[in-house]
Amino acid sequence: MSDTKPLLTVRNLSVDFPTRVGLVQAVRGLNLSVGQEKIGIVGESGSGKSMTARAILRLIPLPGRVRADELSFDGVDILRASPRQMRAIRGQRISMVMQDPKFSLNPVLTVGKQITEAYRVHHGSSESQARQRALVMLDAVRIRDPERVYRAYPHEVSGGMGQRIMIAMMLVPEPDLLIADEPTSALDVTVQLQVLAILDDLVTQRGMGLIFISHDLSLVASFCDRVVIMYSGQVMEVCDARDLQSAKHPYTRGLLQCLPKIEAGAIDLPVLERDPAWLEAHE
């Protein structure tokens, strides 16, 4: 962790959804601080990773409720910020790449139009400048043939291209903190690493903070600085990424064992045996 004051501080965060069949506690008592570093959040499906990310940007849909002892970003109290302050934070300072890339792109606008609009709003530049920048960014995220993709509509690009377009868009405002929710899950492994290298450079060169949500434990172990492991809305453990492979918590060990391996071939994979004691220990 860096020694400067963290960019983002989260203390005792909870997110609840009242539903017809009772209260869903999506996040329970989560603590997190993020500086100029790469934090990974891993955990099984439904463990509350996306809801944690959305709570940070106050994007929890109704009837969801967010509570926290502290939720602050660079001195701003997120829970009490005015709608105007929030818009400024969301647009300029914290960007989020959502888990559902195509959902977040406007289907009736071309890819190029969406990136240039975002660029002009943030940098007040001319149309042709913005176009130039958009093409550079598409090229940077390894899109072959950026000119064609610039003119394409979202349904005309592949899954992985959609993800890279979202990443390019989210980097337009040059955010201080980027929250990336499964940003590269649809990319082939080489392009995935090339895109992560771009994010890595922004962290080391520009001091951006990165929250990287992923199911890919080996990727997180090799890419991030620290890893938060979530289960059922709670943090089970936090460890240095390079120590993830030797993590102690049985939940983390269980997740690691579920991974298929190239050398192992067609074997039945172990699945997680959940233990109620994992939750009690944290209550």
Partner 1 sequence: MIAIEDLDISFGSGRNAVHAVRGFSAHVAANESFGLVGESGSGKSTVLRALCGLNANWTGRIVISGQNQTPRRERSFYKLVQMVFQDPYGSLHPRRTVNNILAEPVAIHRLGDADRRIDQALSDVGLNRQFRFRYPHQLSGGQRQRVAIARALILEPKILLLDEPTSALDVSVQAEVLNLLRRLRKQRNLTYILVSHDLAVVSNMCDRLAVMNHGSIVEKLTAGQLKSASPTHPYTQQLLVASKGYDRTAIDKFVDYA
Query: Which one of 50, 116, 184, 232 is in contact with Mg ion (CB under 5 A)?
Result: 50
> Can residue 258 be called a binding residue for partner 1 (CB under 8 A)?
yes
Give the separation between CA 261 and CA 89, rounded to whole angstroms.
41
Residues 7-36: x where in contact with ligand ATP by CB under 6 A, - otherwise, as a string: ----------x-x----x-x----------
Given the complex with ligand ATP, which of 62 and 264 has the nearer CB atom?
Answer: 62
> Can residue 192 be called a binding residue for partner 1 (CB under 8 A)?
yes
Residue 75 in tokens? 């001195």
Give the separation between CA 111 and CA 137, rounded to whole angstroms.
12
Question: How many angstroms separate the first and last alpha carbons of the chain?
Answer: 26
> Can residue 105 be called a binding residue for partner 1 (CB under 8 A)?
no
Contact region with Mg ion (CB under 5 A), list: 108-116, 154-162, 198-206, 220-228: 154-162
Q: Which of 196, 175, 281, 198 is nearest to 236 (CA)?
A: 281
Q: Which of 33, 32, 34, 14 is nearest to 24 (CA)?
A: 14
Dihedral sign of CA atoms 94, 99, 104, 110 in order: positive
Give the separation between CA 164 and CA 167, rounded to whole angstroms.
5
Q: Which of 2, 11, 3 is nearest to 36 (CA)?
A: 2
Question: In the complex, what is the shortest distance from the CB of residue 76 to Mg ion, in angstroms, rounded to a whole number?
Answer: 25
Residues 150-179 that bind ligand ATP (CB under 6 A): 155-161
Residues 155-184 that bind Mg ion (CB under 5 A): 158-159
Contact region with ligand ATP (CB under 6 A), list: 41-49, 105-113, 169-177, 200-208: 41-49
Residue 44 in tokens? 């099984």
Residues 75-104 that bind Mg ion (CB under 5 A): 99
Question: In the complex, what is the shortest distance from the CB of residue 195 to Mg ion, in angstroms, rounded to a whole number?
Answer: 16
Residues 210-249: x where in contact with partner 1 by CB under 8 A, - otherwise, as a string: -----x-xxx-xxx--------------------------
3-state secondary structure of 141: coil
CA 150 to each of CA 113, 116, 124, 162, 210: distance values in angstroms, whole numbers, following the listed order: 8, 10, 20, 12, 27
Question: In the complex, what is the shortest distance from the CB of residue 209 to Mg ion, in angstroms, rounded to a whole number?
Answer: 20
Q: Which residues contact 236 (CB under 8 A, 6 or more apart)?
A: 43, 229, 230, 249, 251, 252, 278, 282
Given the complex with Mg ion, which of 6 and 160 has the nearer CB atom?
Answer: 160
Question: In the complex, what is the shortest distance from the CB of residue 12 to partner 1, in angstroms, rounded to a whole number?
Answer: 23
Kindly list the residues in this chain that would bind ligand ATP in the complex (CB under 6 A).
17, 19, 24, 26, 43, 45-51, 61, 99, 155-161, 186
Q: Where do contacts with partner 1 occur on this chain (CB under 8 A)?
A: 19-21, 43-47, 50, 61, 99-100, 102-103, 143-144, 147-148, 151-152, 156-161, 164, 182, 185-194, 196-197, 200, 215, 217-219, 221-223, 254-255, 258-272
